[in-house]
Amino acid sequence: MTRCTTVLYRKGLIDHNSCAKLTARFPWAIVRIMHDRPILSSTSTDRLPWSPWLQLIRFRNQTGTALLLLPVCWALVLAARGLPSWELFAIFTAGAFLMRSAGVILNDLADQSFDRRVTRTKSRPLASGELTRSQAFVLLALLLAAAGLLLVFLNPLTRWLAPIAMALAALYPFAKRFIHIPQAILGIAFGWGTIMAWTATRNTVEPQAWIVFAATVVWAIAYDTIYAVQDQEDDRRIGVKSSALLFGSALWIAVGLALGTMLVLLVLAGRLAEIGWAYYLALGAVGIFFAVQSAALRNRVDPPQAFRMFQAHVWAGAAILAGLVAGFLL
């Protein structure tokens, strides 16, 4: 009976409750069954029906949303010369989530055939066939409609800038087919949010806004190059271009230069804003982190390590934001 119960359970011919009743009558079977996991797991019948939709927008991983939102918050604080209005903060936070979610759907629609051939991405809902392209387009339309509603609460100049953000987001997935640094397009798309944040606060675009924009672009090139390290072998095999492939053994130098340029630009933005010492203290701490990370890239980095290094940039961006706030308030 022990062997029979185990086999039935493993093949999914009986459920967990039935198995429990059998093992209650035959307690010596418990150990065997605990070792033999059922085929009916949380990844199949127990999975929530909306899980593929959440996976499509990377709901469980909001690193991208944070990296989009943080420079926007830098711009909001600099433009307001202190804490921005809670209304603007809420609008841009919601907008970052919606636009990042829309962006990853656009990316998956454009890369569906590539994703099926890449180890890291072949289980995504579109690549695996869990969702159809039509379903993805419906969700994309809903997200863009929701983002569009947020524009009602912003001034006319900011509303006019919004379509450019959408065009940049749509361009990025195709850039990797034609240019060797598609991360620059991602940086421009992310940086455009800083311009919108500035105009939403001051109803104009000043030179300082473009400095923050440029800092965001080079920062995105740096951290997304690290992110691209995960897919180097697959990208080379299927012919996708990336800065990680372009820089090769000079990766650590390129990333270090990008991060150093970012810090110089942020120092310049701080000088123009006449911000206090706390901001520069934060930049110094972030600079040490950047130096350590760039040095680590001199050695071979495996995909999990590259992803952790990429995620760590959220904390760097948060430290800069904290320094900005403290620099104005202290």
Q: Kindly state whether residues 308 and 241 are assigned to the same domain.
A: yes
- Whether residues 67 and 186 share a domain: the answer is yes
Indicate whether 155 belongs to any domain.
yes
- Split the chain (330 residues) into runs of 10 and give each run's mean pLDDT: 40 46 46 35 48 92 96 97 95 96 93 82 88 94 96 96 92 85 92 97 95 98 93 80 88 96 97 94 97 94 93 97 94
Rounded distance, CA 314 to CA 257, Å? 19
pLDDT digit string, tens, across residues 54-89: 999 999 999 999 999 999 999 999 999 999 999 999
Cβ pair 229, 81 in contact under 8 A = no
Residues 25 and 75 both lie in one domain = no
Count: domains in the chain: 2
Q: Is residue 55 one of the residues assigned to a domain? A: yes
Q: Do 158 and 276 belong to one domain?
A: yes
Residues 13 and 108 in one domain: no
Other C-beta atoms closer than 10 Å to the C-beta of 160 total 12
Q: Which residue type sits at 289?
A: F
Centroid of chain to Cα 294: 20
**10 and 123, same domain (yes or no):** no
The answer to whether residue 41 sits within a structural domain is no
| Domain range enclosing 18 | 2-35
Residues 31 and 177 in one domain: no
**Residue 286 is assigned to a structural domain of this protein:** yes
CATH code, domain with 134:
1.10.357.140
What gap in Å lies between CA 50 and CA 256, rounded to an integer? 41
Is 250 contained in some domain? Answer: yes
- Inside any domain, residue 45: no
If asked whether residues 60 and 27 sit together in one domain, one would say: no
- Does some domain include residue 42? no
- What is residue 71's predicted lDDT score, i.e. its pLDDT? 98
Mean pLDDT of the residues in the chain: 86
Q: What is the pLDDT, as a whole number, of residue 234?
A: 78
Tell me if residue 49 falls in helix, strand or coil. coil
Flag whether 40 is in a domain: no
If asked whether residues 272 and 304 sit together in one domain, one would say: yes
Q: Are residues 89 and 228 in the same domain?
A: yes
156 and 65 together in one domain: yes
Span 87-125, pLDDT tens digits: 999 999 999 999 999 999 999 998 888 788 887 888 898
Is residue 76 domain-shared with residue 104, that is, in the same domain?
yes
> For the segment 10-19, what is each residue's pLDDT rounded down to a tens digit?
334 444 455 4
